[in-house]
Amino acid sequence: MSEARKPVDPVTVEIVRNGLIAVTEEMKTNLMRTAYNLIVYEALDFTVGLFTATGDTISIGLGLPMFIRGMAETVKAKLKHFGPDGIHPGDILVTNDGYITGSHLNHVTFTMPYFHDGKLVGFGCCMAHWLDIGGMRGAVSTDIYSEGLQIPMVKYRKRGVVNQDLVDIIRMNCRLPDFAMGDLRAQVTALTTGERRFLELVERYGADAVLGSVAVIMDQTEAEARANTLTIPDGTYEAESFMDDDGLDLGKRVPIRVKVVVKGDRMTIDLSEVANQVRGFFNSGPATGIACAQVAYKCLTTPTNYPLNEGSFRSLDIICPPGKVISAVRPAPLQNWMSFPMTVIDTVFKALAPAIPERVIAGHHADLVIGQVQGVSPEGNFFITHLGPVGGGWGAKASEDGVGVTVCINDGDTHNTPSEQVEAKFPLLIEHYSLRPDSGGAGRTRGGLGADYAVTALCPMMLNTRIERKFCPPWGLYGGGPGAGNSIELRIDGKWSDNPPNAKLMAQRLKKGDGFMIRSGGGGGFGDPHERPAERVAFDVVEGYISAEAAKTDYGVAVDPATGTIDQAATARLRAKEGKAP
């Protein structure tokens, strides 16, 4: 709990609580309205936040959960680098150092100190995905130096004066400099919005009341997290899974092993047995390992407590030594930093399934499931765009089916890119974006469905995919079946092929008329499929979620796909083989 302080009345605390949420939501809205690239203003690949004068998280605008630690670590690193006396009103600090932010070089992070009456009262921070930051394309990088421009911790603006030399360096190293500069200005807009609104709150209620309320909110969140941790039986819980490969050593599985220790009102998440950093670009910095544990813990203990703040994590201990695939050290490549961490989180839930089956989910598709294309349009303009996140199936819970075609856990509030926007801006035709039947794992509660996303190239271009979890399908729990894995299919010269060694394609050339289909996985099922009511199985068949054949083989239900009529006698025979009633 926080140290003794002047009491703040509960009414003020709740006003400040909602005011903080409003500040970060307005920061988020203004960034969306002023950003230049689709991945920010449509897909929402960014996060904004408010932090204390020491870098602790006050409020984060709903966005990418994996950024919860990266931004806080970045604020603290900048504070340490410049020192309290080296940060002044009007400064804006910037870096894209992935070993600090916990992501890749495309995530450029701006931080602005907020002063009131000459005293530092907090920070605003904004991390957003730039479409290009230089570096190689169309291949798996093996070190950070090939991935683009590295920006150390420097001042973009010093006492209100922009560092034009820095701007010129950044601009020269981006393939799409106008987009980069537009997104830069949008991030600055988000920070100045946060400064204006946060200081309005301080002016209205006083710095002591606002900062005191922040401390109370953190204490309340901590108390809730501790209370919910107490409901988990003490013990040591372990689980493992794996990733397909690192993009270079094809077929060499990358093990993910976790251990969770619960003792009283504290939890320890031990990630020391997660694989060491790999040669390919699927590593991430140390902040990511911390974020994996924090995202899992918040989901389990304070999932609906807002604003997201430091109090959620005071009762969590994390073991994640350097040199792991989620705590890599320089010069490990980081370009595809986001793929492995979501499976780490899933595996934490898997470990705790025996202890709290009613509070965890089966495995989910656990990947961004994105395609990236680039080329020169028929009008002669160079373009780069991401297609997705496609979204996939989430795992079933004990009480309900998994949701379908929803972004993975690490991407939180991220949206897919609208097909209309893609077709209007790029030489691409979206043939269909549809549910993938039979992709959800069978169970008493069914896993969510994945999607099929089919695209035709309208001019020559290059396709890259970095899709994971083709060979480690989302697992079921308590007798539930696995969901389908993620995959990619190609159509070259009119012929479809679906047998690449993994779901990663690098520099795949497409001619006009060629195409591809991204197939996102489903979620795992929960419980014995033969315990699912036959009426629900019939409904799924009629809706096209599962086939009549899957209804028969997986669920023991004979149903007419046209009418949804259940053959009760045949169903009784099928389920009798399993000792289940229809």
- Do 389 and 497 lie in one domain? The reply is yes
- Do 559 and 414 lie in one domain? The reply is no
- Do 73 and 209 lie in one domain? The reply is yes
Instruction: Count helices and strands (H / E) in the chain.
Output: 13, 20
* CB distance 582 to 568 below 8 Å: yes
Give the neighbor-by-neighbor strand order of the sheet with 92-95.
57-60, 46-51, 119-129, 107-116, 92-95, 154-158, 161-162
- Do 548 and 500 lie in one domain? The reply is no
- Do 472 and 543 lie in one domain? The reply is no
Nearest CA-CA partner of 254 in 288, 286, 277: 277
Domain of residue 76 covers 10-220
Give the neighbor-by-neighbor strand order of the sheet with 254-263.
235-243, 254-263, 266-270, 316-319
**Amino acid occupying residue 414:** T
State the pLDDT at residue 579. Answer: 61
Q: Is 456 helix (H, G, I), strand (E, B) or coil?
A: strand
Distance CA 78, CA 74 (A): 6
285-302: pLDDT as tens digits: 999 999 999 999 999 999
Chain centre to alpha carbon of residue 52:
24
- Do 42 and 90 lie in one domain? The reply is yes
Answer whether residue 265 is part of any domain. Answer: no
State the pLDDT at residue 501. Answer: 85
- Do 517 and 536 lie in one domain? The reply is no
**Amino acid occupying residue 498:** D
Which of 505, 527, 549 is a domain's end point?
Answer: 527
Nearest CA-CA partner of 527 in 365, 409, 361: 361
468-479: pLDDT as tens digits: 999 999 999 999
* CB distance 112 to 92 below 8 Å: yes
State the pLDDT at residue 582. Answer: 45
Answer whether residue 192 is part of any domain. Answer: yes
Nearest CA-CA partner of 476 in 448, 500, 502: 448
Residue 575 token pair: 């389920």
- Do 469 and 539 lie in one domain? The reply is no
Diameter of the chain by CA atoms? 81
- Do 428 and 442 lie in one domain? The reply is yes
Answer whether residue 47 is part of any domain. Answer: yes
Answer whether residue 559 is part of any domain. Answer: yes
Answer whether residue 329 is part of any domain. Answer: no
Which runs of consecutive H residues, i.e. helices, occur in 306-449?
A: 339-352, 419-425
Report CA Rg, the chain: 25
Nearest CA-CA partner of 143 in 337, 288, 330: 330
* CB distance 520 to 433 below 8 Å: no
- Do 552 and 473 lie in one domain? The reply is no
- Do 424 and 542 lie in one domain? The reply is no
φ and ψ of 498, to 5 deg = -130, 30
Q: Give residue for tokens 């009103």.
A: 89
Q: Which residues of the chain have pLDDT under 50?
A: 1, 581-582
